[in-house]
Structure 1
Amino acid sequence: MTRIDFHTNLPDKLNYACRLARKAWAVKGRVVLLARDRAEAAELDAALWTLADTDFLPHAMAGDALAAQSPLLVSYAGDPGFGAALPHHDMLINLGREIPDGFERFGRVFEIISTDEDDAAAGRQRYLAYKKNSYPLTHFVAGKS
């Protein structure tokens, strides 16, 4: 069953998602980063290139010809490249405000929640929906020990 990890109270979701992807890639993890929309996916793509001067995070857009060789994929809600055609389903980092279609294909889902109240409220609704369906949940609150 898919494990769901909530990471909340984050001031910069994109930066956090990039650092989480870097951490997963360092241990040979394969990750799909799911943005809210095409514009946020473009921001995420740029952020992965510029995360740090010394880091290179190999990634491609879902549906790209290089997707099968890329350990990190960027997609967005409604992207035709997101879905069963994805070359891997290890981890999903969700930056959106809804439960992604097909999330259950992934071994692990990270729900990234900002400090914005609307985003936090949407995160609480997703948490309750996952809990209602008995998914294993963990919760990490940024800034707390």
Structure 2
Amino acid sequence: MPRVQFYHNAENPLALACELAERAFAGGRKVALRVPDGTAARQLDQLLWSFHQLAFVPHVMAGTPLAPETPVIIGRADAPAEWPHHEILFNLADDVPPGIEQFRMLIEIIGQDEAQKGPARTRWKHYKNLDLPLQAFDAVRREAL
């Protein structure tokens, strides 16, 4: 079962996901990024190309032919797909991702909007009931809570 980290209070959850995915990729890790829908997937795709001038984060959408060979995969909660690797899953959707037991680490990124905080509390309780190791961080201050 995965370790779970919650990043609360993110000013821009997609930008934080890019930053953390870049760090994970630079460290040789493979990443799955789960977003709510196609609009968020397109935004994240564009942001991964442009958020940092010197960054190169190779990524593709889940289900494409290059997905098994690509270290960063973007998938949609509204169109579930099989993940080609199972190291780190970033969840930016409001529900518990299916198949979390396959991953080593699950990272939940929660924005400042109250509409995101309620579902995040529900997910925290769910993971706690599963006895998963939980850590919480303030995304703005970059410190553990």
Distance, in Å, in 1 between the alignment partners of 2:84 and 2:139 is 31
Distance, in Å, in 1 between the alignment partners of 2:9 and 2:101 is 25
Residue equivalent to 2:29: 29
* Deviations 1:35-88 (CA, angstroms, capped at 9, x unpaired): 0111111111111111111111101111111111100000111324x22xx220
What secondary structure sits across from 2:86 in the alignment?
coil
Distance, in Å, in 2 between the alignment partners of 1:103 and 1:37 is 19
Find out whether 1:101 has 2:98 as its counterpart. Answer: yes
Moved over 2 A (4+): 142-145
* Deviations 1:77-102 (CA, angstroms, capped at 9, x unpaired): 1324x22xx22000000000110111
Residue equivalent to 2:5: 5
Number of residues paired by the alignment?
142
Q: How does 1:61-72 map to 2 (within 5 A)?
A: 61-72=61-72
Find out whether 1:88 has 2:117 as its counterpart. Answer: no
Q: How does 1:1-145 map to 2 (within 5 A)?
A: 1-80=1-80, 82-83=81-82, 86-144=83-141, 145=143
What secondary structure sits across from 2:73 in the alignment?
strand
> When the two structures are superposed, what TM-score results if normalisation uses the length of structure 2?
0.94
What secondary structure sits across from 1:56 in the alignment?
coil
What secondary structure sits across from 1:54 in the alignment?
coil
What secondary structure sits across from 2:46 in the alignment?
helix
Distance, in Å, in 2 between the alignment partners of 1:117 and 1:31 is 27
Distance, in Å, in 2 between the alignment partners of 1:6 and 1:129 is 13
Distance, in Å, in 1 between the alignment partners of 2:139 and 2:16 is 10
> When the two structures are superposed, what TM-score results if normalisation uses the length of structure 1?
0.94
What secondary structure sits across from 2:19 in the alignment?
helix
Distance, in Å, in 1 between the alignment partners of 2:98 and 2:46 is 25
* Deviations 1:96-136 (CA, angstroms, capped at 9, x unpaired): 01101111111100000000011011111100111011111
Give 5+ residue unaligned stretches, structure 2.
none
